[in-house]
Structure 1
């Protein structure tokens, strides 16, 4: 029971710490920003924040990580399958959140491009 609580708290802390990841990108422009740029950047960041980090891919990575960690933990000398599952779940969640962060960054950059800004990166 204690390991499950630790796993849930770890996942919540991980997602909370990463709440704005990907939305704080500072795009590089090909040329000077126009008068509308800051307003558009704020709107595009807001749009990206609405993209959930706890999506299907993150949940799948968490489940796969828990499964692999549980198997590896059970095979180890100590036989701690639950501990392995917790560590694997956290590693999988971290990978999923990282991917979601990349998606959010792409949303910001593509949104700015769609609004007519010459975004290089």
Structure 2
């Protein structure tokens, strides 16, 4: 039962990070133009639609699970499943942070492309 709860927790953490970064509102140099809010919504939607980042996050979780299972198998204090759960969590969180940063960059670049003076 403990392992099932851990696996559900890993899936929940990775899933919760799926759209992070897409809701980013960057800092502008100057006053926003009247078109800013509609452009921001369009750019955030573009960033949110990049599902390959979700696939990369899932792949990072799987790779982390594999590495964690190997390490857990050789550790006297844990088993392969505990190592897999810990590795999946670490890999998933790492992938989600990377995806979030990339989505924020998409929002910024999209707004710059639409003529807004984005500084970060």
- Number of residues of Structure 1 aligned to a counterpart in Structure 2: 119
Residue of structure 2 in register with 1:106 after alignment: 105
TM-score if structure 2 supplies the norm length?
0.86
Whether the aligned pair in 1 keeps the contact of 2:14 and 2:57 (CA below 8 Å) is no
Whether the aligned pair in 2 keeps the contact of 1:4 and 1:86 (CA below 8 Å) is no
When residues 27 and 79 of structure 1 are mapped into structure 2, their CA distance, relative to the original with a 3 A threshold, is closer
Residue of structure 2 in register with 1:84 after alignment: 83
| 3-state SS in 1 of match to 2:54 | coil
Residue of structure 1 in register with 2:116 after alignment: 117
When residues 10 and 47 of structure 1 are mapped into structure 2, their CA distance, relative to the original with a 3 A threshold, is same
Residue of structure 2 in register with 1:72 after alignment: 71
* Unmatched 5+ stretches in structure 2: none
Equivalent-residue separation in structure 2 for 1:37 and 1:43 (angstroms): 10
| CA RMSD of superposed structures (Å) | 1.9
| 3-state SS in 2 of match to 1:54 | helix
* Unmatched 5+ stretches in structure 1: none
Whether the aligned pair in 1 keeps the contact of 2:70 and 2:80 (CA below 8 Å) is yes
Whether the aligned pair in 1 keeps the contact of 2:69 and 2:83 (CA below 8 Å) is yes
